[in-house]
């Protein structure tokens, strides 16, 4: 059975360095209400709910269960959770809708990095035998990748600074972004990466609604049809991989149909400047493509939501008529270990 499935609504919080005055569900709820209001749906109308978050950010086991209060999980609902970025929750919801078991889905994800030290927290996702005991933090691993790219002649420090400046300039038009406009490129955090090459640390949440077939047309004037989604992973060992390339992104894009026709927009989840170099090459994006008009993860990187936001931002451009065919990318793990690519299209005009 083939069904057309679309993103019909998207909402996100303002991303901030800290939202300590709010619990996770208190931070999330306005976003859930906003995305439902856009479609006129109520939580009871939703066929499937899927969320993404991480216990390690919260420092508590089963932390996602508390957030379920925000979607009205009584009487019982059809619900699932992924312990990673919400982009993967969207993938699960998309496959659920493809089966025909539901016609609408609510996908949300959230992360509060403010309670802990996210550089240390992310070390716990590494190989526990050979890597985690050394506590290599997320910036250090991204810096190794950046140096590999510089050594290979694919970029240099001024080029990286230009990526950062362009992203934050683009974020001027994004009222939700955490860093907007000129941001000092700063000192080295872990050389060769400077503070400006790294994403802001912040708290935030995002939600989208998916709908199938004619249902999508009734909920949104110009649905963002999902033409394909695929996600791929690379070897766990960093020293096994060529850090200057991302074959998993390339393969995911190919399977999602990204190379069948050109895209006009790409929302890339590249938390570090150098990663945009890798992704542009893997996705064969040239200067005709509008990359990260939202500002991308360099302007706001709420962990576990930043990937879903890429899909939401790409879809929202189609909703507004600013794009006809957009690519959205999400990543997880160190140095672009896991990559998801979605291709979205609006109806022909």
Partner 1 sequence: MPEVLKAPLVVEFPFTRSLGPVQSAFLTGLRERVVLGVRTRDGRTLVPPVEYDPVTAEELGDLVEVAPTGTVTTWAWNHDPRRGQPLDTPFAWVLVRLDGADTALLHALDAPGPEAVRTGMRVRVRWAAERTGAITDIACFEPYTGATPPLTGHDGHFDDAVTGIVAHARLDYTYSPGRAQTAYIDALRGRRTVGERCPACRKVYVPPRGACPTCGLATSEQVEVGPRGTVTTFCIVNIKAKNLDIEVPYVYAHIALDGADLALHGRIGGIPYDQVRMGLRVEPVWAEGARHPDHYRPTGEPDADYDTYRELL
- Residue ranges in contact with partner 1 by CB under 8 A: 20-26, 29-30, 32-33, 43, 56, 59, 66, 68-75, 114-117, 119-121, 124, 128-137, 140-141, 143-148, 151, 188, 190-193, 235-240, 243
Considering beta carbons, is residue 24 or 345 the nearer one to partner 1? 24
**Which two three-digit tokens encode residue 126?**
């590494």
Considering beta carbons, is residue 127 or 347 the nearer one to partner 1? 127
C-alpha dist (Å) from residue 105 to 9, 69, 101, 153, 331: 11, 17, 11, 44, 22
Considering beta carbons, is residue 112 or 317 the nearer one to partner 1? 112
Helix 273-282 to helix 138-151 angle, to the nearest 10 degrees?
60
Asked whether the beta carbons of 347 and 220 are under 8 A apart, the reply is no
Query: Nearest 5°: phi and psi at 78?
Result: -85, 115
Supply the minimum distance, in Å, between the C-beta of residue 160 and partner 1.
Answer: 13
Alpha helical stretches, state H, 8-85 = 24-39, 55-58, 64-67
Supply the minimum distance, in Å, between the C-beta of residue 109 and partner 1.
Answer: 16
- Long-range contacts formed by 123-126: CB under 8 A, 24+ apart: 124/56, 125/56, 125/333, 125/334, 126/334
Considering beta carbons, is residue 136 or 228 the nearer one to partner 1? 136
Considering beta carbons, is residue 148 or 256 the nearer one to partner 1? 148
Supply the minimum distance, in Å, between the C-beta of residue 113 and partner 1.
Answer: 11
Supply the minimum distance, in Å, between the C-beta of residue 139 and partner 1.
Answer: 9
Considering beta carbons, is residue 38 or 114 the nearer one to partner 1? 114
Considering beta carbons, is residue 175 or 239 the nearer one to partner 1? 239
φ/ψ region of 335 (left if φ > 0, alpha if ψ in -120 to 50, else beta) reads left
Supply the minimum distance, in Å, between the C-beta of residue 187 and partner 1.
Answer: 9
Helix (H, G, I), strand (E, B) or coil at 5: strand
* CB proximity list for 133: less than 8 A, separation 6 or greater: none
Counting every residue written for the chain, the total comes to 349
Supply the minimum distance, in Å, between the C-beta of residue 203 and partner 1.
Answer: 11
Place of tokens 């394909």: 228
Supply the minimum distance, in Å, between the C-beta of residue 220 and partner 1.
Answer: 21
Instruction: Classify residue 266 by its DSSP letter.
Output: E
């Amino acid at each position: 059975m083939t069904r057309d499935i679309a993103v019909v609504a998207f909402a996100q919080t303002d991303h901030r360095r800290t939202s300590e005055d709010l619990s996770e569900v208190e931070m999330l709820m306005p976003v859930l209400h906003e995305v439902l209001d856009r479609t006129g749906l109520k939580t009871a109308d939703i066929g499937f709910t899927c969320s993404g978050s991480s216990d390690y950010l919260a420092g508590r086991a089963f932390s996602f269960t508390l957030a379920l209060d925000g979607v009205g999980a009584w009487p019982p609902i059809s619900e699932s959770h992924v312990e990673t970025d919400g982009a993967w929750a969207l993938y699960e919801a998309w496959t659920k809708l493809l089966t025909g078991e539901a016609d609408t889905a609510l996908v949300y994800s959230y992360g509060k990095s403010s309670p802990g030290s996210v550089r240390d927290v992310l070390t716990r996702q590494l190989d526990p035998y050979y890597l985690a005991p050394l506590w290599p933090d997320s910036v250090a691993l991204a810096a190794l990748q950046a140096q590999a790219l510089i050594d290979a002649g694919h970029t240099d420090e001024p080029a990286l600074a230009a990526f950062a400046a362009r992203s934050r300039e683009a974020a001027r038009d994004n009222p939700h972004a955490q860093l907007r406009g000129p941001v000092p490129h700063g000192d080295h955090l872990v050389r060769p990466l400077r503070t400006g090459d790294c994403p802001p640390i912040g708290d935030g949440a995002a939600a989208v609604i998916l709908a199938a077939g004619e249902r999508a047309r009734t909920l949104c004037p110009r649905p963002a049809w999902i033409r394909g989604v695929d996600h791929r992973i690379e070897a766990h060992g960093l020293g096994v991989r060529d850090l200057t390339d991302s074959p998993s992104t390339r393969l995911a894009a190919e399977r999602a149909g990204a190379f069948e026709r050109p895209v006009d927009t790409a929302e890339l989840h590249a938390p570090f400047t150098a990663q945009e170099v890798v992704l542009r090459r893997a996705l064969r994006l040239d200067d005709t493509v509008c990359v990260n008009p939202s500002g991308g993860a360099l302007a706001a990187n709420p962990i576990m939501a930043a990937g879903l936001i890429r899909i939401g931002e790409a879809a929202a451009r189609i909703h507004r008529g600013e794009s006809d065919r957009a690519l959205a990318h999400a990543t997880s793990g160190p140095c672009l270990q896991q990559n998801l690519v979605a291709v979205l299209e609006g109806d022909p005009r």
